[in-house]
Amino acid sequence: MPEPEVLTDMDVAGTDRYVLRKLPEVTLAFWGMKIAATTLGETAGDLFAQTLKLGYFLTTIALFLIFVVTLVVQLRSRRYNPFFYWTVILSTSMAGTTMSDFMNRDASAKFLTDGAKSLGWGPQGLGLGYPTGAAILISLLLAIFVIWKCTGLTFAIRDIVSFRAEVLFWAAILVSNTLGTSMGDFLSDSSGLGYAGGALLVTGLLAVLVALMRVPAVPNVVLFWIAFVLTRPLGATAGDFLTKPLAKGGLDLGTAGSSAVLLAVLIGLMGSAHVQERRTAASQDKTLTGVS
């Protein structure tokens, strides 16, 4: 049986049908919510794994299960819902934080706080290190894109309308957020740039991508995915800058307080996006019914 087509709002001009859009438009507000969600993912992941001392192993399992639940809700939704979409982004950011930490870190003192000798139940981490962990994640991400390419489905977010394309999209998001965490932690911990320096470097790279949008030879789809990966280390370094001790170059605001503030900001942004979505839908309904 052929896969049922999922259509999006008003994306098919000149026809008598319209498509139910499942993913958001890429606007400045989109990137603001992406950075807020990824920063919250960093602070919330560290809250569970480090502050509450559940450890990377247990926290990764718990957060991955949360990701699966939120993904099922998103996939079952018939049209774009900001709360569903950004909840999945947040869950991939939180899971990506602890998955990266579990891959790259170990039980050595530099990864533990307050003189702790262990962190939670189970293995403390695989200790692969940031270069090896990043190489594995880059390989996984490239494999997803190769499979995606072979399906013939589009990479453009506004044109992702089928179940299969959306599953590939979310697989790429999970791996890219995990990769972005590794990049952010490397910049913060191992590069010598520190939290603020790492954030400034990533911000500079994002500015270059914005400039490249004006270059016709560079596809916007490529720039989108590079930016999507780079906003994760920006969130990781920003999250560490908010939560880490003053002695390490952070603001020492704590994981709980920072997570609460970031959650409030993200909920506010999602609420605003939801209101805008309802207004857009109402306008489109009037257009379809001929009501002025």
Q: How far apart are CA 55 and CA 41, in angstroms?
A: 16
Judge whether 134 and 96 are in contact, CB under 8 Å.
Answer: no
Is the entire prediction scored with pTM above 0.95? Answer: no
pLDDT, one tens digit per residue, over 132-174 is: 998 999 999 999 999 999 999 888 887 888 899 999 999 999 9
Residues 199, 204, 206, 212: what is their CA dihedral angle, to the nearest 10 degrees?
-170
Q: How far apart are CA 46 and CA 56, in angstroms?
A: 9
Q: How far apart are CA 131 and CA 124, in angstroms?
A: 19
pLDDT of residue 235: 82
Q: What DSSP character marks residue 19? A: B
Domain range annotation of the chain: 28-271
DSSP 81-128: -HHHHHHHHHHHHHHHHHHHHHHH--SSGGG--TT-S--SSS------
